Structures are given as C-alpha cells and as structure tokens.
Chains A and B, each alone.
Chain A
Amino acid sequence: MNLQFESILPYLLTGFYYTTLLTVGGLALGFAIGASLAFAETYLPRPASTVASGVEQVLRGIPLIVVFFLVYFGLPYAGIMLSPTVAAALGLGLRSGGYQSQIFRGALESIGVGQVEAALSIGMSKSSAYREVLLPQAIRLSIPAWSNEFTVVLKDTSMAYAIGVAELLKQAANIVALTLQPLEIYAIVAAIYFIATLVVSRTMNTAYEKWKIPGLGGGAR
C-alpha cells in the first residue's frame, strides 16, 4: 500500500470544509425552523398550531435525498436556481427543522405551565416569562436530543454527494477514481466521520453536564 498522504490531504480537507459548512448551515436553518414550529405548535391557537404540526409531519416524512432532488433539480423549473451547496444546506435544514421542532416541543411541554403562570403572577409580561423562564430551561433539556440531531445532520451531509457538492464523500470518490484504492480511502473517510461525531457528542455531553440544573435528574417537572 503506497498511499500518498500529502497528495490526497488537500482534497480531504476541502471535503471536510464543505461537510462542516453543510452541517452548520443545515443545523442553523433547522434550528430556526424547528424553534418556530415548536413554539407555534405549543403556544399558538388552533389554526396556526395545526398548520405547524402539518408542516412538521411533511418535513419528517420525506427522504432527505428526495428533498435534495426536489430543491436542486425541481426548483429551477419554478424559477429558483440554487448552487449545489446552498440547495444541500437548504434540504438539510428543512428536514432537520422537522426533527428539531419535535425536540423543542418535548422540552417546552415538559416544563409545564405552572412556572410561566408564576412569572405572570409577579407581573412579568408573557414574552419576558418565555425568555427568562421557559427558554433557558427548554434549551438545557434539549441538549441531549439535539446532540443526537447534530450527529445525524453531520453524517447526512454525505448525501449531498448525489447533487455534486464537493463534500467529504464526493472528494473521496474523486480520489478513488484516480488512485483505485477504495478500501483505504473510504476507510479513512469513515474514520473522519466517526471521529467528528465522537467529538460532537463528547462536547455536547460536557455542555449538558455543565449547564445541568443542580438537583434535577434527567428531566424537569
């Protein structure tokens, strides 16, 4: 085996750069979508909350690769042309939004209305009660499940291969086409995904331990 590490490294680095970009983009967009949907489902009155849960169902019910094809190959026919990277980030964000809304909804519901009522009873406004009482707890409670979603998005960036984003897997495939060493190259790529995932879950776990509410076990009342 004579892998020329110096020669393939730049390709892998470029790939990892795009993988990171898609992960961060997808998670950020997913956070915005997920938080809005969760809020709408939990606190808005009937028509809005029903629409929000419908949207959540749809987002969670379509395979990621189909979302990619819809956004990248389909949208141009509606006059919207997106670069592969933007299309992939959008697709990842849409799907992650569906899952993140479930995470946040669970957290919000587990806190219960009593604490918000207590905040209102001392004269705090509704928005202040949400900001000061509900959100800080909901975020803490969401960390374990959100950490899992983080690793899912990280790994699923590899599906952007299908629409030609130069992410890690795509770069690896390019290298294999030149070196004809699929076993070594794909093993390296697998190891990179594994290590990145490990780092993410360890870091999130540390954050969870650090911000855990003293005296409370896994969940809050």
Chain B
Amino acid sequence: MTGYLLRVESIHKNLGGKEILKGASLNMHRGDTKVIIGPSGAGKSTLLRCVNLLMRPDSGRIFLDDEEITGKHVNLSHVRSEIGFVFQHFNLFMHLTALDNVKLGLVKVKKLSGQEAESNAARALRDVGIQDTLFRNYPAQLSGGQQQRVAIARAIAMEPKIILLDEPTSALDPELIGEVLRVMEQLAQSRTTMLAVTHEIGFAKNVADEIVFMDDGVVLETGTPADLLANPKHERTQRFLGKISELYGVKRTGA
C-alpha cells in the first residue's frame, strides 16, 4: 500500500513518430484535485488519455488503487468504468436526450435496471445543475455549458474513483465557462478525486490542492498553488506563467 489512489510511473508515448510523453510521472491521493498546466504540445491531453487507457502507453506503468492497469490482461472496460473522462468537445451522444446520455452507461456497463438507472441519472443531472425541464432535451438543443455539465453528469453517474477532465472549458463561450467551473468546484469540495487539464488559472489557484506543470513530455514541477504560482522553480514554468498572467492578468487578481 502506498496510500496513493493513482500512480503514474514514467509514461512514454509516441504518436505519429514523435515522442509526446518522455517519462511523465505523477501521484494522486484520494479526494485530491490536481490541475495540470503547461504549454500546448506538452503532452497534457496525451497523459490523461493514457491514464484511462483510451491510449496505451508505450512504456511505464499506471496504478489505480495499487492495482496495475497497464498490464497485458487488464479488463479495459472495467478500468475505464472506474475512471471518468470529460472531453473538451463534450462528445455527448447526439441521438440521445440529456437523461439518456447519462443513463446509457448505467444500463449497458453497470447493468442497472431501467428505473434505477433513470433515478441515478436524474440525480447526477441535478447535481450539476441541469433542471428537470431539460432532461428530455437533445444535446443540440442545449447550450455548450449545459452540454458540458451533462457530460460531467455522465461521468460522475458511473461513480468512478477518479475523474479526468481534458480542457473542459476550452470549447465554451466565455460567458458559459463559469457554470462549468462552478460544477468542478462543487466536485472538488465533495472530495471527488479530479485530475484536470485546464488553462483556467483562477480555478487552479482557488480549487486545486496541487498544480502540475508539464513541458515537453515530462512533469517539470509540482506544488501547491501558492508555491507554484508565486515561486516557480524552473525557468520554463516562470516563462509560461508570465505569458498566462499577461493574457489573464485581470482574472488572476480577481480570483
């Protein structure tokens, strides 16, 4: 027993002949919220996709609850059902209502009865602030913020051990970002284990237990928001944070 819920050990991943991950490692305690920041191309999304095995790492090992999930004979479906994933572009099932989007996994994967699945799905939707009147709406009839919240409900309804969020607000109009961040904040407060890639420094600063800075395929430094944002050790971290504060300076001071 190591006490960690998630251990990522030296993951390497090549994509299209290019080495994207060059030995990325990180650990997470149960109930932690961790935010990964870093320039584009650093391998942040690739790392998340490796963690829930949407991509197989070329080498390195990943442990969930001290069980290796990168082994040869691992049950992919079972592992993925224990790791929620929220996508940048929501990826809702366009032919299903909000309620059925959340229900599908409960029925097909968790094998719940229709009625139980329905009440669990409804609860998850209410948890993310989707009103009952929207349950029968199709994704294309919802705003981007509502779609992303339905996607979060779809992930949490499965009661995963950890939720991975891959730039969950990057595809949203600015006025819709807040509603999604608030839901993520609630999740953090209820001690849902979350690993999020995001450029929302305000969220990282206020909500994260730890911030992870990734660059060029490795985790360069890790620290509490106060430490890492105020006293970044690496020059590359400093440069990145400098650029971010230029862009989002107002937000940071306001946050």
Interface SS, B side: mixed
Interface membership of A133, Cβ < 8 A: yes
Provide 24 A-B residue pairs closer than 8 Å at the C-beta atoms, listed in order of the A residue. A114-B91, A115-B92, A115-B94, A117-B87, A118-B91, A121-B83, A121-B87, A122-B84, A122-B104, A122-B105, A122-B155, A123-B78, A123-B81, A124-B108, A125-B77, A132-B104, A137-B94, A140-B95, A213-B94, A213-B138, A213-B140, A216-B94, A216-B138, A221-B94
Indicate if the CB atoms of B108 and A132 lie closer than 8 Å.
Answer: yes
Given contacts A121-B85, A122-B80, A125-B77, contact A136 B95 (CB under 8 A): yes
Interface size class of chain A, counting residues whose CB lies under 8 Å from the partner chain: 20 to 34
The distance from the CB of A31 to the nearest CB of chain B, in whole angstroms, is 20
Q: Determine the chain A residues whose CB is within 8 A of the CB of B89 once the complex forms.
A: 114
Report which of B78, B93, B108, B141 forms a contact with A115, defined as CB distance below 8 A: B93
1/0 per residue A105-138: CB within 8 Å of B? 0000001001101111111110010001100110
CA distance A77 to B82 in the complex (A): 61
Interface membership of A214, Cβ < 8 A: yes
Count A/B pairs, Cβ under 8 Å: 83
CA distance A115 to B141 in the complex (A): 17
Interface membership of B54, Cβ < 8 A: yes
Indicate if the CB atoms of B109 and A122 lie closer than 8 Å.
Answer: yes
Given contacts A114-B89, A115-B91, A118-B87, contact A215 B138 (CB under 8 A): yes
Question: Which residues of B come within 8 Å of A, CB atoms?
Answer: 52, 54, 77-85, 87, 89, 91-95, 104-105, 108-109, 137-141, 151, 154-155, 158
Report which of A114, A128, A215 forms a contact with B140, defined as CB distance below 8 A: A215
Q: Determine the chain B residues whose CB is within 8 A of the CB of A214 once the complex forms.
A: 137-138, 140-141
CA distance A117 to B80 in the complex (A): 11
Interface membership of A220, Cβ < 8 A: yes
Indicate if the CB atoms of B108 and A128 lie closer than 8 Å.
Answer: yes
Q: Determine the chain A residues whose CB is within 8 A of the CB of B104 once the complex forms.
A: 119, 122, 124, 132
